[in-house]
Amino acid sequence: MAMTAADVMKMIKEKEVKFVDLRFTDTRGKEQHVSVPAKAFEMDKFESGHFFDGSSIAGWKGIEASDMLLMPDPDSARMDPFTDEPVLNLSCDAVEPADGKGYDRDPRTIAKRAEAYLKSSGLGDVAYFGPEPEFFIFDSVTWNVDMSGCFVKIKSEEAPWSSGEEYEGGNMGHRAPVKGGYFPVPPADTLQDIRNAICLALEQQGVEVEVHHHEVAAAGQCEIGTKFNSLVKRADWMQILKYTIWNVAHSYGKTATFMPKPIVGDNGSGMHVHQSVWKGGQNLFTGNGYAGLSDFALYYIGGIIKHARALNAITNPGTNSYKRLVPGFEAPINLAYSSRNRSASCRIPLVTNPKARRVEVRFPDPTANSYLAFAAMLMAGLDGVQNKIHPGDPIDKNLYDLPPAQAKKVQNVCSSLDMAIDHLNKDRDFLTKGGVFSDDMLDAYCALKMEEVTRFRMTTHPVEFDMYYSS
């Protein structure tokens, strides 16, 4: 049963809550918050919202129209596991005070519009999403970029490069080799207790955990698998998951990152996203075609593949994202689908129950803003269904070993952020259908991302000294 505003007010009393934390997500996907003392938090907040200044949020309003409202969602209420005092957290929509409508650039509002569009299209009632974000936990990280030069140093006692270090209590010596982190038992896996603690904290906040383990990269790469849910709810959970991973790691004196490629020469972190569309309690992806898929599912895949390069700007939103999307690292760079092949961008997982039939889109990474990424993938898939875009034949061979003539025919995802932004600028009609994304929002998004591209392009990289210093 969904929580109501009255339930939340009761919870505040019962749990002796001292502060209510209102949370929302900016364009880049970073969660922001403002706290209200419990005595100042009344029913009125659910009806009239809480004022804040929207002009200071990257990619949002100009100074001339800065007043915005946060509208809390009572069903998102959960106690914060990390604060000294009892704090209740609520996910919010950012709303325009002038018309009471969701703000055009608010990611959670856009995700809600995508859900509404699905219903209004008559194609389905609910889209389910199940993301699998990978992440790293390091002991410490230091970097600096200035006129005198730059560096980054990662410290990880678990890492293969730490075998020669002298540690205070001695060097434990048990380590996974490069690409060997999947998944030996402790003491090689030093992060079991931290992952246990993360999972328990997630469950406390209503996010259901299905599995956790060490991942392939030796220096602290992990994955925590959580249950699928409907689009907006699942994006809310993703924000809870990130918050929880960062803070549990922090409490253990470690640091966690969702950066797709923090380490050169070992696996990067992806976020495979499982998805399916349902109507009247039936999974519309179940059929008797390839791998038990329906035509609906195949057309959905066709839409994802057709718009993949425009999607990249949203699902792979950083310059670092494209350091992961290179051949040879299990990276899903090939725009093809397969039930077996992990280098294909769309994989159909093997399931015993046809109700669980779904498509796994493998190119996104966990720096994506989940509200925008899930909404954009749904819009691409639905465009495929509406226009009957067939994805062609599946490719079950290893895509890295295809004969050159056949390999040439398989398109790849983008190789850089500026290339992805270029594609999003040319191919965005599928996103603006039904007013889900607006051109104004996409323009602001692209401008924000181009700032990152420009800063990166202007910054001299140490590897360039390696390549050009004496040329």
Q: Which residues of 291-312 are buried (b: 16+ CB within 10 A; e: fewer)?
A: bbbbebbbbbbbbbbbbbbbbb
Q: How far apart are CA 202 and CA 292, in angstroms?
A: 33
- DSSP for 156-204? -TTSGGGTT---TT------PPTT--S-PPTTTS--HHHHHHHHHHHHH
Active site residues: 53, 132, 134, 215, 223, 272, 342, 360, 362
3 state SS of 273: strand
**Phi/psi at 104 (nearest 5 deg)?**
-50, -30
- Which one-letter amino acid corresponds to residue 204? Q
CB 36 within 8 A of CB 19: yes
CB 211 within 8 A of CB 222: no
3 state SS of 453: helix
CA distances from 210 to 227, 427, 444 (A): 6, 37, 37
What is the token pair recorded at 154?
């990662």
Q: What is the DSSP letter of 4?
A: P
